[in-house]
Amino acid sequence: MSSSEVDSRVACKYGADCYQKNSLHHEKYKHPEKKKRSSEEACAKNASKLKIEVSNVPEEFKEEFNTSNLNDDVRSWLKKIYSFEMPEDFYSFFEFTKSLTKSCELPVLGLHLVGPYDLLMGHILRCTKAEAHMHYRYYYDPPEFQTILKVDSPPQLHFGYFRDDPNEMPAFVGSNDSEKDCTIKIVAGNIFGAVNTILDNQLKIANPFMKMKVKTIQTALQKWSSKHGFTLDTVTPAMRSRKGKVMTKTFHGAGLVVPYNKKTEVGYRELAENDATLKKILKEIVDTTRPGQRSPIWTKLQPVITFANIANDECDFGASLELGIDLFCFGNEIFHQTALHQLTTAYNLLGRNLYATIAQLHLANRKKSSDPSVLT
């Protein structure tokens, strides 16, 4: 059809997003031309996603890794990149998904393996340690949380390993919907249990046709986990043991665990204000927008900060960590600098230096509108 002729075809209701490839459909319906993006634009977009602030972090976080030879020794490579070991269920679940589909994606639920799995699947060929730790780090993810799964809907719902200490294996798999708030829900003891729970929930709402698909995959998952010795329990003995060590829930609700001597009562002390009062103070600071009126309200927070700093001097490092996590979870950038100071101080005193660097990277690049996929 020449440019001078009038296109009498009916406009397709799906517009440029139409999925139809049938030529008869395109003869009958017209579609707007899709804008072609130049290679320069594509490169610019990719480059912008790869730019993260990495100043003032250890040089090792700027070192670039070539992940194309991960298959030579996967476990050693991942430990070099992340500075901690991945648990056995992480690798076994990857093998399980490969047994279902070559793409390593679960063919229901819009459930996707992300984060460190992107390295295993060859989606990322080069990355620095800093980029690896920022890849799929959502707005409210504390340093203890490492995303490994995401779903299509809700778009910000994701699942990850939660480690109290980077030198330990994950305590549990939790979930967070960063579009809602900072809450971390404890889901299961490992990734098999977490996905089994997701499938249980899907069965409650799926149509009959989808239920068959979900049930098929759940049966396969249950057989695999049983054969390889992975529990599907949502509460495990290790999780019960950890519950007894939690000193406080913190704003995210998953709890804070630090070394604590019950006899000497050294290691943790409560903050100068309870959660409800602290949230009220923080909200008052954020809501005050008139010039000159915010400083007096900050004075209400200062005793809490001073008290936490004194606690550090007396080896109660948990207080400073709690305050840092709470300020981080409250989410407003007004508190980023104070949160970072409390977090880095506490993490370093606790020997969790890796978390101090992750907090620094995250707060330097933290934006609610950011795509959590730093590497694509």
Instruction: Mark whether 40 is an active-site residue.
Output: no
Element (H, E) at 197: helix 191-205
- Do you know the residue count of the chain? 376
Parallel/antiparallel/unpaired status of strands 145-151 and 111-113: antiparallel
Burial 320-337 (b: 16+ CB within 10 A, else e): bbbbbbbbbbbbeeebbe
Residues paired with 29 in a beta bridge: 10
Smallest Cα–Cα separation from 86: which of 156, 146, 31, 151?
146
| Burial of 182 (C-beta count, 10 Å sphere; 0-12/13-18/19+) | buried
CA dist 114 and 181 (Å) reads 21
CA dist 324 and 328 (Å) reads 6
* SS3 category, 74: helix
CA dist 187 and 372 (Å) reads 21
Q: Which candidate in 41, 64, 265, 314 is catalytic? A: 314
Peptide bond into 154 cis (omega under 30): yes
Q: Which residues are catalytic?
A: 314
